[in-house]
Structure formats: structure tokens, C-alpha cells
Amino acid sequence: MKERGTKVTETTRDAEAAIALLRDLIALTRNGEAAVQDRLAAGFRAAGCTVERLRYRPAEVPLREEFASQSAIATEEREAVIARLHGTGGGRSLILFAHPDGEAFGDDHGWTRDPFAGAIADGRLYGWGVADDLAGVAIMVEAVRRAAAVGPLRGDVILASTPSKRHARGVHAVMHHGHRADAAVYLHPAESGVGMREVKTLASGQAIFRVTVDGRLPDTQEPGHAAFAHTAVNPIERMIPVMTALRALDARRGERVRHPALEAAIGRSTNLLISRIEGGTKAGRVPVECSILVALSFPPGEALSAVQAEVEAAVAEAAAGDGWLREHPPRLDWISGVTGAAVSESDPLWIETSRAVQDVTGEPPYVNPLHTSSDIRNPMVQHGIPCVGLGPLCGDLTHNGSRDEWVDAADYVRAVEVGARLIRNWCG
């Protein structure tokens, strides 16, 4: 009975320590990203890790099969905190990564709770950035602490708190500077509403682009154009052939491009979404130009360059069939693009991850293949390192336009235990 009581006490203390760290990080977010990184560095050192900091500029990090326009990339110098728990030798190495940066805070946040108090109510822990991705970086600290407390590991464990927002490319920079391992795990709460019962092993690629069509104003100084509309060229109307061509491309791709995991989950493997149409801002006036913003998802195995070529051909086809567009070709601007990647269910990383999740939750996890452009793709595409993603249940993410962002406190504690077991199972 004494041993059982001791175990219960240790488990309770571990859970309390994990919650306390996450609440500390939420409070420190008020003081900025550097304060969060300092706290994480201290936590890594307390767990027995060596710690270094990497300063880098996102635009200078070389990439494979990925791009972003200069206007989309963070321009300021960023910092990653990299910790290493050295193994005794002979074991597999593992890199865990998560991002400490969240959405920019504004006074008009609309929250009903104090964003920095870390309040817990009805099993939910609330806080600014708690699900995106303070919980992820906190899991790293607590998981390595627990894994190290059991005894020495054979393989090295690398833990990277790396900026991610606005194409900050933190994990790219870490790996580009030589911090690599036999496998990787991306720790991020699950936006799907499932939590620790799922694991991300597949990330579709995504290309985002803008098409702009010029118009012609009527020859008048009148403030209203309705009476002169027949003498103008309305770029919104001239955009219709472009949109028709893109919808036709989407239909052809839907028939031709197939991936079994995506087909089973959602019934389709690729999609083209026209998410925004921008034209005039005032009723009664012909717009000078019209733009559409488009996102195209595509499965692992398709090359980003091939997808771009299909889009370019579709836009060119639309222009060739329209008199105005032949003389005034649409402008196609590529905003960003990433390539998809996947880990098979026969991969040792999936097997060990699945075992750790089942040992902690009592249920075998299933694969969520529907998180387009997930950061799990980064180690796989850039360096050929298998990677999975997992994290606790969360909801109401600020990133998605919601408020009162939260993680499930009990599932967060389970995520820490899964992380600790995965480290020990993988590294030996």
C-alpha cells in the first residue's frame, strides 16, 4: 500500500508541475516571446539538457519544395531555443519541436476571460496562445524531465522551441544548422476536437496564389458609372472565365489525383478553394481591377512545381479564350507553397507513437490525414526525417478567429506522459 500511495503522489506532483509550467508560460506571454523562451531554456536546463540559442533570419533559410513571397515572410531576426539531452550511445535519436510564438495580442481581443491568467474551469485551461502552441513547448519540457528522471537514455533527445508564425521557418533553421535526428515529433494541440486519440502522420501540400484582372473605366468624370457601364470593361465580369477555368481544373484534378488515406477520410484528395474576391469598394463605380485569392491542396507525392504548372496553364487557357484577356493577360502571383509528406503505418515511428498513446490513454490512436500543410512536413520534405504530430484536445483558437482559447487540462497531462514514454521507447 505504501508503494501505491507513493506512486499516486508522484503522479499528482507531475501533473501539478505540468499545469504550473503551462500557466507560467501563459502569464509570461504578456511580456513577449523572449520571456517565454527564457523560461523554457531554464526548464530544459533543470531537466539536465544543454541549451543553445540560434539567431537567424527567416528569408535566409534555404528550403526545398517550398516558397513564400517576400511580403509573407517575417523579416525580423528570430531566435530558437535548442536543448539536447545527451544519450549514452547506441540508441535512436529523436527531435521534438513546437512553436512559442502566437497570434499578435490586441486590446480588442474580445475575450470573456483574462488572457494571461491561466484560469481553469470545467476542465479547460484558458490562455492566450495556450493551444497555439504554448502547450506544445510545455509538453517538451515536462516530457524530457520525466524521461530523464527514470534513468539514462541511449539515444540523444533534441528539443527545439522554434518560431513558426508568418513563415518564421524556425524548425527549418534548426535543422539547417545541423540539429537532426532519426525521427521527429511535432507537438501541437489537436484542432480537430479529438485530442490524444489521434496522430497526424500525413500533411497535404498547399499552394496559395492570387489572380488579378484589369478593367477599363468609362470615359467620364461623373462620380456614378452605372449609366456608362456599357462603355467600360468590368474586371469582375472578366474574371469569370478565369474562375471557370480554375473550377474546371479542380474537377479534372478531383478525378485524376487520388490518395487512399484522403479518399477514405474525406472522399477527395485535392481541392481548389476560391476564398476571396476583391473588386470595387463603392457602389455605382466600375472597379479598376479584380483579384481572387485561391488555395489549392494536393496530396503527398505530387510535386509543388507540377501543381503550379497546372494552375498557370489553366489561367493561360482562360486568357486565350477571351478577347479582353488576350490583350490584357491576367496576373498570377504565387504567395506561398509547401509540399506534402507522410509517414506510413509500418514506419517504426508510427509504431512507437501508437504504442505510447495506447499505453497512456487505453485506446489505440487513429490517423488524422486532414491537416493541410501541417509542420510535420518540414523534417520529411527538407531532410528526409520521418515525423508525426500529436497533442491534447483544444478549442476556440485565436488563429481561427475565435476567443477564449483553451486546452483540456487532463488531456494535456496525458500528452506529457505520452511524450515521456515516446522518448524512452524510441531512444532506448
**All 3 cell numbers of residue 416?**
506529457
CB atoms within 10 A of CB 267: 8
Tens of pLDDT, residue by residue over 204-246, are 999 999 999 999 999 999 989 999 999 999 999 999 999 999 9
**Predicted pLDDT of residue 282:** 87
Q: How far apart are CA 109 and CA 111, in angstroms?
A: 6
**203 near 374, Cβ under 8 Å?**
yes
Look at phi and psi of residue 122 and say left if phi exceeds 0, alpha if psi is from -120 to 50, else beta. left
Q: Which three cell numbers stand for residue 263?
A: 479518399
More confident residue, 280 or 91: 91
- Taking CA atoms, 57 is separated from 115, 359, 425, in Å, by 30, 41, 35
Whether omega for the bond prior to residue 133 falls within 30 degrees of 0, making it cis, is yes
Percent of the chain with pLDDT over 90: 85
CA angle 65, 66, 69 (to 5 degrees): 145
What pLDDT is attached to residue 2? Answer: 38
Neighbours of 388 (CB within 10 A): 26
Residues in a beta bridge with 84:
50, 158
Q: Which band of pLDDT confidence, cut at 50, 70 and 90, is reported for residue 30? A: very high
Q: Cα 424–123–358 angle (5° rounding)?
A: 30
Could you tell me the three cell numbers for 32?
513577449
Write out pLDDT tens, residues 366-412.
899 998 889 999 999 999 999 999 999 999 998 888 999 999 999 99
Query: For residue 1, what pLDDT is reported?
Result: 34
pLDDT of residue 155: 98
Fold of 205-338: Alpha-Beta Plaits (3.30.70)
Q: Is the CB of residue 269 less than 8 Å from the CB of residue 257?
A: yes
**Domain residue ranges in the chain:** 2-203+340-427, 205-338
CATH 3.40.630.10 fits 2-203+340-427, yes or no: yes
Of 72, 141, 60, the C-alpha closest to 100 is 141
What is the tens place of the pLDDT at every residue in 277-303?
999 888 899 999 999 999 999 999 999
Q: Is the pLDDT assigned to residue 52 strictly greater than 80?
A: yes
Q: What is the pLDDT of residues 105-130, one digit of tens each?
A: 888 889 999 999 999 999 999 999 99
Q: Considering the chain, what percentage of its residues have pLDDT values greater than 70?
A: 98
Average pLDDT of the chain to the nearest whole number: 94
pTM as predicted: 0.91
Q: How far are the Cα atoms of 179, 185, 256 from residue 171, in angstroms, in the given order?
A: 9, 11, 33
pLDDT for position 75: 81
CA atoms within 13 A on the CB side of 40: 36
Average pLDDT over residues 326-338: 97
User: Tens digits of per-residue pLDDT, 131-161?
Assistant: 999 999 999 999 999 999 999 999 999 999 9
Q: In whole angstroms, give the CA distance from residue 393 to residue 390.
A: 10
- Rounded CA gap, 39 and 34, in Å? 9
